[in-house]
Amino acid sequence: MAERRIIHIDMDYFYAQVEMRDNPDLKGKPVIVGGKASGRGVVSTASYEARKYGVHSAMPMAQAHKLCPDGYYVTPRFDKYREASQQIMAIFRSYTEIVEPLSLDEAYLDITHLVRPDLPASRIAQFIRRDIYEQTHLTASAGVSYNKFLAKLASGMNKPNNLTVIDYNNVHDILMNLDIGGFRGVGPTTEEKMHANGIYTGKDLYDKSERELIRLFGKRGHGLYNKARGIDESPVKSERIRKSVGTERTFATDMNDDDQVLNKIWELSTKTAERLSRIQKSGKTVTVKIKTYRFETFSKQRSLRDPIRNETDIYNIAYELYTDLKDPEVPIRLVGVTVGNLEQSTYENMSIYDFL
Ligand code: DCP
Ligand code: MG
Ligand code: MG
């Protein structure tokens, strides 16, 4: 197999960060998100300030209160986390179709096909982190490597808000010195068994024969033997092939000025064109959506004979759709532009500027 370039992205203290974003009073504070302390609530997650007190995910809330009595305790708002999750997944999919979400706040991306001499995988990872921050005001950490196991290991190495690359120069040092519990798939029970057999670090694991590991850990022995060597051939399993690319914006105040809305539609058309360009697709339908100040949603679509992908073509159609759709009496709070019915673009002249 030719060498792959894999990115693993994971949001930092995800639920807590969303809460801190939405309530500036929590900034810099020990914030703990979880169920009620009475009953059997557990901690969902804690800000890095709260982690200093020893608070962590899955800990009983009562224990968290003991460790961190002055913490700021917040009950989860799952709709907010889902919303942020959808935003980041859409960003990932604007770079590559090969996205494997692991949970609301993380995913693997295979970006092998996007990498060029002037565009290394680490640069792409920085673009993605920048897009996430711009669109959600949340930070993420990224790991870049040549397989999933190492990419995920890397993303966790310098949290929060960091990028870490594992390549052939540093992989040996990192794996040999890694605590055995730091290997993906080694949970508390396996860790105990490892310790009982004198395996504390990656080096100890590396020194065991494959036979010995199979004797100790059965079917998993082979995988552990490979992991100690930084080998992981498992592919990034994407869930779906994307059918459309779109962007929408909510206005700060409800908007009834066509010039301003059309300016926004031009911006959205440009963004959509950039995304199409990145995934080398063009599309045969354009949809404009608006949401009124009363939260009613309307959309209108046009199908085209020939696929389009540049911002002027998208804008010209979006302009007409908007003009048909908009009631001059009714202010709107949101506008969106989507290009659908995608097919592989014949344009091959992608440039670095498609990413900026
Ligand atoms: N989560 C949960 N219960 C757990 C673990 C996690 O409810 N036992 C939720 C809350 C987390 C989110 O999932 O915010 C993401 O989990 P992560 O393991 O990625 O942890 P965080 O994003 O909170 O922190 P970080 O990734 O910075 O370590
Ligand atoms: Mg996380
Ligand atoms: Mg996670």
Neighbours of ion ligand 2 (CB under 5 A): 10-11, 14, 105
Tokens of 98: 């090969």
Per-residue DSSP letter, 255: E
Distance 330 CA to ligand 2 centre (A): 41
Nearest ligand (C-alpha, residue 34): 1
| Binding residue numbers for Mg(2+) | 10, 105
Q: How many residues does the chain have?
A: 356
Atom 20, ligand 1: residue with shortest CA distance: 13
Tokens of 94: 């604007």
Name the nearest CA neighbour of 163 among 184, 132, 136: 132
Per-residue DSSP letter, 253: E
d(CA 47, CA 14): 9
d(CA 1, CA 109): 17
Atom 1, ligand 1: residue with shortest CA distance: 44
CA distances from 283 to 40, 87, 89 (A): 51, 21, 20
Q: Which residues are catalytic?
A: 106
Per-residue DSSP letter, 145: E
d(CA 7, CA 17): 22
Q: Mark residue 283 as left, alpha or beta (left: phi above 0; alpha: psi -120 to 50; beta: remaining).
A: beta
Q: Full-prediction pTM beyond 0.75?
A: no
User: pLDDT under 70 in the chain at which residues?
Assistant: 1, 37-40, 239-242, 345-356
297-308 and 244-255 beta bridge pairing? unpaired
C-alpha count within 13 angstroms, C-beta hemisphere, residue 183: 31
Atom 7, ligand 1: residue with shortest CA distance: 44
Closest-lying ligand 1 atom to the alpha carbon of residue 11? 22
CA distances from 56 to 31, 68, 157, 249, 298 (A): 11, 11, 17, 35, 44
Closest-lying ligand 1 atom to the alpha carbon of residue 15? 14
d(CA 12, CA 21): 12
Q: Give residue 242's Cα distance to chain centre.
A: 16
Nearest ligand (C-alpha, residue 17): 1
Domains and CATH numbers, the chain: 171-227 (1.10.150.20), 245-344 (3.30.1490.100)
pLDDT of residue 346: 54
Distance 278 CA to ligand 3 centre (A): 26
φ, ψ for residue 137, nearest 5 deg? 55, 35
Which of 10, 17, 57 gets mutated to test ligand 1 (max ligand atoms within 8 A of its CB)?
57
Residues with CB under 6 A from ligand 1: 10-15, 44-45, 57-58, 103, 105-106, 159-160
Tokens of 257: 């000025």
Distance 50 CA to ligand 1 centre (A): 14
Distance 159 CA to ligand 2 centre (A): 9
